Amino acid sequence: MEERYSKAETLALRRKHIGPSCKVFFAKDPLKIVRGQGQYMFDDKGEKYLDCINNVAHVGHSHPYVIKAATKQMELLNTNSRFLHDNLVQYAQRLTATLPEKLSVCYFVNSGSEANDLALRLARQYHGHQDVITLENAYHGHVTSLIDISPYKFNQLGKDSKKEFVHVAPSPDIYRGKYREDHPDPASAYAEEVKKIIEETQKNGRKIAAFIAESMQSCGGQVIPPVGYFQKVAEYVRAAGGLFIADEVQVGFGRVGKHFWAFQLQGEDFVPDIVTMGKPIGNGHPMSCVVTTREIAESFGASGMEYFNTFGGNPVSCAIGLAVLEVIEKEDLQGNATRVGNYLLELLAEQKEKHPLVGDIRGIGLFVGVDLVKDQQKRTPATAEALHLIYKLKEHQILLSADGPHRNILKFKPPMCFTMEDAKHVVETIDALLTEMEEATGMKTENNASTNAQCKRKTTEGSSQPEGANESIGHMNGAACRQENGLYSKKPSLSSKRIRT
């Protein structure tokens, strides 16, 4: 299909009319994507990119079954939830069937941010408490109430940006955090930190409304909390009159494979008080949801204020939501996430053996992180190297991102139709690129901890960018910086093989 504007024109118009804090991926040479199919995205030249980052196109880009469900309902009716409609109740029934029994009441909203904002309202109404405990490096959304509880964001505003009612607990990261894999009981140790915060808060006369955490931290660095951590935190938080909010906006809907929800990795004895959902729920259609218990919902209703959301729970969104659930089941995408995820982890584990740049591999299902380090012992984040790799992968038509507080963690969260072949292709390409980078820096033979100092400084500046801008080289002088460090191989790089269409 002929594009209305050339890529340069699109970019110029974007610069003119779109707010400058809305960043693009690969700022030096942004992609103009015009079509998606399955786990692939196609640019304006018809080039095909393997999408390893898009957890929104959960069941695959432009899935025909989802499109059909949306079109069919749009042809018939779309209106608000003040009218009775079967789609709303059918979807609520289907969605809650995936959750523990007591999580039975839904509020349909339109974005992850709206879901988390409403979750905070529910929690604050429940006992009239105000304070929130959040995790280090957490991101929960872009609205004012959530920037306040997102250290990933508010830390960028300077040291006085944390509000009084916000309390930040250490991220339960056993690779980089306070208690590591050699600790006898990191779950209890990290939960104890939350308990200390609660005690301190109470001493100051403040009251905890909620503890909020992603069931696995994504922007925060692909962190999988140790089993048992949530149970203990929930016990302490509830004893203080607060609620446990599990943010499943990135990690829900079967991404972890063996469970539908990532909080279920903690064990059957753990049930959050509120679960928030977004991104994958509508496969790209803007919709989201808050699910809670009857008791919490009744307490919210007791304020007497109506909750009305113009678009939330409309018949089209619900038809789409239902179609997504059906595809996950029919195509056994959870099974696929387990099989392909395990294979990907196996292949990456081999890379860890082989490459000094690979410090840690962690993941479950199709949620995988590769922690790049400059020094295996010190675990010094290899920030510049991660960015370099992301850009080289783009040249090989593979889309991957680097995230975490140091932007050194390769973040896999592909559409759930990702295949074994895709996993093999990506890891082979990463292998070749890492070899090239290590050879260029002499990393195999000597510890190269002091290299890239300049790049590191530049990318640290880059890290003060809004979410999604972390892959941008707009803030590091890409090629020049890499050449200074010898990160650019003088040898011809890996053949720029195209993925076959």
The minimum distance between CB 248 and ligand PMP, in angstroms, equals 8
Which secondary-structure segment (H or E) carries 361? strand 358-364
Least separation in angstroms between residue 247's CB and ligand PMP is 5
- Residue 278, interface with ligand PMP (CB under 6 A)? yes
218 binds ligand PMP (CB under 6 A): yes
250 near ligand PMP (CB under 6 A): yes
Nearest to 50 by CA among 497, 479, 431: 497
CB closer to ligand PMP out of 153 and 374? 153
For residues 218 and 403, is the Cβ–Cβ distance under 8 A? yes
Using CB under 6 A as the binding criterion, the count of chain residues that bind ligand PMP stands at 16
- State the residue number with the nearest CB to ligand PMP: 112
Neighbours of 150 (CB within 10 A): 25
Q: Taking contact as CB under 6 A, which single stretch among the options 33-41, 246-254, 261-269, 329-337 is the one that binds ligand PMP?
A: 246-254
Angle between helical axes of 383-395 and 478-485 (0-180°, round to 10): 120
Minimum Å distance from CB 199 to ligand PMP?
28
Residue 99, exposed/middle/buried by CB under 10 A (0-12, 13-18, 19+)? buried
Residue of the chain from 219, 344, 361, 437 that contacts ligand PMP (CB under 6 A) = 219
| Minimum CB–partner distance for residue 7 and ligand PMP (Å) | 26
Region of 165-173, 228-236, 242-250, 413-421 interacting with ligand PMP (CB under 6 A): 242-250
Query: Can you tell me whether residue 433 is helix, strand or coil?
Result: helix
User: Which one of 36, 38, 60, 112 is in contact with ligand PMP (CB under 6 A)?
Assistant: 112
**Nearest 5 degrees, angle CA 256-CA 257-CA 262?**
35
Q: How far is CA 429 from the centre of its chain?
A: 23
In the set 214, 385, 438, 471, which binds ligand PMP (CB under 6 A)?
A: 214
Determine, following the binding rule CB under 6 A, whether residue 141 of this chain makes contact with ligand PMP.
yes
Output phi, psi for 134, to 5 deg.
-130, 170
Q: Contact between 465 and ligand PMP (CB under 6 A)?
A: no
Cα-based distances in Å from 95 to 53, 66, 205, 318, 378? 25, 16, 39, 10, 44
Dump the DSSP string for 367-429.
EEEEEEEEETTTTEE-HHHHHHHHHHHHHTTEE-EEETTTT-EEEE---TT--HHHHHHHHHH
The type of residue at 286 is P
| Residues 128-141 as b or e (16 or more Cβ within 10 Å = b) | ebebbbbbbbbbbb
Which region, judged by CB under 6 A, interacts with ligand PMP, from 16-24, 36-44, 135-143, 418-426? Answer: 135-143
Residue with Cβ nearer ligand PMP (384 or 410)? 410
**Cα–Cα distance for residue pair 107/312, rounded to 1 Å:** 8
Q: Is 76 helix (H, G, I), strand (E, B) or coil?
A: helix
Looking at 111, 293, 448, 452, which residue binds ligand PMP (CB under 6 A)?
111
Least distance CB 332 / ligand PMP (angstroms)? 26
Stretch that binds ligand PMP, among 125-133, 243-251, 350-358, 377-385 (CB under 6 A): 243-251
Among 39, 54, 113, 441, binds ligand PMP (CB under 6 A): 113
192: CB partners within 8 A, 6+ apart: 232
Is the Cβ of residue 272 or residue 478 nearer to ligand PMP in the bound state?
272
Q: Which is nearer to ligand PMP, 49 or 139 (CB)?
A: 139
Q: What is the DSSP letter of 46?
A: -
CB of 139 to ligand PMP, least distance (A): 5
Asked if residue 139 binds ligand PMP (CB under 6 A), the reply is yes
- Closer of 284 and 359 to ligand PMP (Cβ): 284
Does position 249 bind ligand PMP by CB under 6 A? yes
Among 109-117, 126-134, 308-316, 483-491, which window interacts with ligand PMP (CB under 6 A)?
Answer: 109-117
- Enumerate binding residues for ligand PMP (CB under 6 A): 111-113, 116, 139-142, 214, 218-219, 247, 249-250, 278, 467
